[in-house]
Each structure stands twice: as structure tokens, then as C-alpha cells.
Structure 1
Amino acid sequence: MKCVCVLLLMSLCACAEFAEACSCSHTHPQQAYCNADIVIRAKVVGQKEVVTGIDTYGNPVKMILYDIKQTKMFKGPDGEIDTIITGPSAALCGVHLDSNDKEYLITGNLYSNGTLRVNLCDYIESWESLSLTQKKSLGQRYQMGCECKIIPCSVIPCSINDAAECLWTDWVVEGTVQGPQAQYYTCIKRHDGSCSWYRGAAPPKTTVQNVQDP
């Protein structure tokens, strides 16, 4: 039995065979920014169910199409994103977005037909829940760290294998993926080619930093 979320969403969801739920590994917001084709701030203005094809059993493949109003593009091609598509339920990696004037930070990837599809493995958060540092990092500061790689630590002991990596320890230290490193730190490349955590509310003045890990 093939993984449904891979068939329908072509996502990075880690779906176990016969599993009904969608499972994803946690991603630091900077890493999500760097991995995404599109990073926008937007709110939902409408939604509807659409049929995007037929599965191998002859059943219609249903998805949820959200009409959105983009208020800011942090990363992406020229032009405005006005729709996104996702699975019909969380079990199929679908994302539920409210349409009560709530704004979101939305990351996702464009597929060959130009469709922006999002799923539970993408970094999607309400705008109000983001820290000031996260909001100011969207763009220059996160982009400066895209040559680095952030490695999540889920179980101690854990370590990095390359100088161009930063170890993300929020989960094991704070018991949450929304800890200090996610909210206030950026992994930035230093002058010697290694990467290290940088803290601050404004983008660094130079492209390299010498700082200590948090």
C-alpha cells in the first residue's frame, strides 16, 4: 500500500505503511525559510473543495483550495500568490487555515505546474505567534544562513558532523520546538566557513559573525 500523502501531495511527509496520520520531523524556522520556494504573509479570504484527478481505484482525488490575500512576500518569484492547495484532512497531511481575518506565515514549494501546495510538514504559523526576532529575520538574516544546516536534536546524546552545521536543542532542553533557538537565534556562517548561532532582533551588519552557541 503506497503512502497516501506522497501520492496526493508529493510532500516530504514521513508516512509509515498503513498509517492513517501524517508524520513530519520538526524544522527550525530558518531552515524552513531556506528550504522553501515561497515564504509569504497572508490571510485566507475563501476556501472550497476541488477535484484534482482520479486515483488508481477510480476515485476522485479531493483537495482544499484556499483563496488568500498576500500581504507580504519574503521569498519567491515576482507576482502575487492568491491561492494555495492542501490535502482534505490532517490524516492526508492537509493544513487547516482559519478565514476569520487571521494572518499566517506560510512556507511552501512550487510544483512543475506552478501550483503552491502546502502540507503539515511545511512551516505555517499564525503571524501573531511569531517573535519579533523571527519576523525581522524573514529575509536578509535567514538568507545569510542558508549555506548552513540546522540539525535538530531529539534525543541526547546528539552532535553535529560538520562545521557548517548548528545543533538545534530546543526540544531536549526546553521540551518545545518553539524555544529560544527557534524564536531568537539564526545560524550564520562565520569568517572561517563554520556556522554558529547568532542572536539579535536586527540583521547583522556583516555577512559573517563570530559568536558563541546559546
Structure 2
Amino acid sequence: MSRSRSVVPLLLLVLCGAAEFAEACSCSPEHPQQAYCNADVVIRTKVVGKKEVVTGKDAYGYPVKMIQYDIKQMKMFKGPDREIDTVFTGPSTALCGVKLESDGKKEYLITGNLDSNNTLRVSLCDYIESWESLSMTQKKCLGQRYQMGCDCKVVQCSVIPCSISSPTECLWTDWVLEGTVQGTQAQHFTCVKRNDSSCAWYRGSAPPKKEFMDIEDP
């Protein structure tokens, strides 16, 4: 799925009319590490079916329609101790719905959160990419590598000047420096906590070396 992340300014917020999506869709793109840390579920999967379903009624008694994707889970990087076989999303992109190819040929990395019924729901605010578009570093960092950085926070820089407000933050500058949110930091770097409890960018998927962990300045 292509969501044209590289041409949408970080300041552009996705605004939705549906009440149940309103909070989730006021967002800007996330660094993949931050998306991993914020998600309940991170899986590699294929979509093998699609249908519109009614999941309940709104406050006025009207049916709430959603798209149900039937998926074939290939690998779970983060999530509950069970296989997930369905994903729900809004019925249109105007309602923050995600469009996925459902012929079972394309592989996706899907991040999302579980609702009160333990059902996986996704929106345009979630980090969802075709598996083949991910860099090798991103693929290897899924799981333990990104999990190591979940005590840190990746802060987006959308307009210069920008800065961090805490030593546990890493400044994400792909948009202002490269004009894309799929730039060098997104594809090749993770934000890692060091021994002095500060966080800094580290390139690659291998565990940080001791000299990096011990250093005081980025």
C-alpha cells in the first residue's frame, strides 16, 4: 500500500468525521521505532479477503460500517499470545480507512492497536507499509532492537529550528533535511538509551557497542 508519506508535510493532520476515529486520526507520520513502541500489535501478513461489515450502532442508532480484512499472519513481532486473522478499518480513506490489496500476493507490515473487544483496528495514522519497501535494517530491528528503544522518544522536526526537550529524546530530521519521512533516520537508525540514561541515534541493527553505550555526548 502506498500512502505517499514522502509528499505529505508533517504538519498536515488527517482529520476525520467519524467519532470513533477522530482521536486516532489527528496525527502525523511516525518514525517506525516510535510506531512499533506505540502499537499493541506489529505483524507481517498477507491480506486474503475483504468485506464490509456492521460492527454496531452509533449514538443515533445508525449502523457503524467497517471494512474487515481477513489476513494470513506470517510473523508476529509484538502482540497477544494468539494468531490474529482479521483486521478492521474505516470504510473509506475519508474516515481514515486503510486500503490494502486483498489478493494474498502482497506482504505488509501492519502496526495497530486492540480495541475493548481485543479486535485489531488500524487507521491511516498507523504505520503500515509493504514488506518489500522496508530496508534491511528496519526488518532486522523489528522486535528486540526497536523494543530496546521504547524508553526513548523520537521527536519529529517539521520546521527548522527544532530541538529536543529531554535527554531521552532523539530528533527526527528526515523531513526537513531530505524532504521525506522515509529518509535515512527512518530506514537505518534507532533511538537507543545509553548507560547514562540519555538517548541517541544508533545506525544499524546490531547491538550497540560498549563505547556507544558509555559515551556522554551524541
Same fold flag (TM > 0.5): yes
- Are the counterparts in 2 of residues 11 and 119 from structure 1 also a CA contact under 8 Å? no
- Are the counterparts in 2 of residues 164 and 195 from structure 1 also a CA contact under 8 Å? yes
The C-alpha deviation readout for 1:91-143, integer Å capped at 9, x for no partner, is: 00000000231000000011111111000000000000000000000011100
Q: Secondary structure at the match of 1:85?
A: strand
Q: Aligned equivalents of 2:79 and 2:112: distance in 1?
A: 10
Note the C-alpha offset of 1:11: 4.7
Name the counterpart of 2:186.
182
The C-alpha deviation readout for 1:70-94, integer Å capped at 9, x for no partner, is: 0000001111010010000010000
- Are the counterparts in 1 of residues 69 and 102 from structure 2 also a CA contact under 8 Å? no
- Are the counterparts in 2 of residues 141 and 204 from structure 1 also a CA contact under 8 Å? no
Name the counterpart of 2:17.
4
**Higher RCO (CA-CA < 8 Å; seq separation 6+):** 2
Q: Aligned equivalents of 1:31 and 1:153: distance in 2?
A: 14
- Are the counterparts in 1 of residues 154 and 191 from structure 2 also a CA contact under 8 Å? yes
- Are the counterparts in 2 of residues 103 and 127 from structure 1 also a CA contact under 8 Å? yes
Q: Aligned equivalents of 2:214 and 2:100: distance in 1?
A: 40
2:98 is the alignment partner of 1:95:
yes
Q: Secondary structure at the match of 1:136?
A: helix
Which deviates the most, 49-58 or 104-113? 49-58
Q: Aligned equivalents of 1:210 and 1:178: distance in 2?
A: 29
Quick one: structure 1 residues 203 and 10, their matched pair in 2 at CA, closer, same or farther if it must change by over 3 Å?
A: farther
Q: Aligned equivalents of 1:37 and 1:56: distance in 2?
A: 27
2:145 is the alignment partner of 1:141:
yes
2:48 is the alignment partner of 1:35:
no
Q: Secondary structure at the match of 1:73?
A: strand
Name the counterpart of 1:82.
85
The C-alpha deviation readout for 1:140-185, integer Å capped at 9, x for no partner, is: 1100000000000000000000000000000000000000000000
Divergent runs of 4+, >4 A: 210-213
Equivalenced residue count is: 201
Q: Aligned equivalents of 1:137 and 1:146: distance in 2?
A: 12
Q: Secondary structure at the match of 2:34?
A: helix
Note the C-alpha offset of 1:209: 2.6
Q: Aligned equivalents of 2:213 and 2:130: distance in 1?
A: 30
Q: Which runs of 5+ in 2 are unaligned?
A: 1-15
Note the C-alpha offset of 1:10: 6.4
Q: Secondary structure at the match of 1:8?
A: helix
Q: Which runs of 5+ in 1 are unaligned?
A: 15-23
Name the counterpart of 2:121.
117
One-letter code of the match for 1:65? Q
Equivalent in 26, 38, 47 of residue 29 of structure 2: 26
Q: Aligned equivalents of 2:118 and 2:23: distance in 1?
A: 15
Note the C-alpha offset of 1:8: 2.9
Q: Aligned equivalents of 1:172 and 1:146: distance in 2?
A: 24
2:173 is the alignment partner of 1:161:
no
- Are the counterparts in 1 of residues 145 and 205 from structure 2 also a CA contact under 8 Å? no
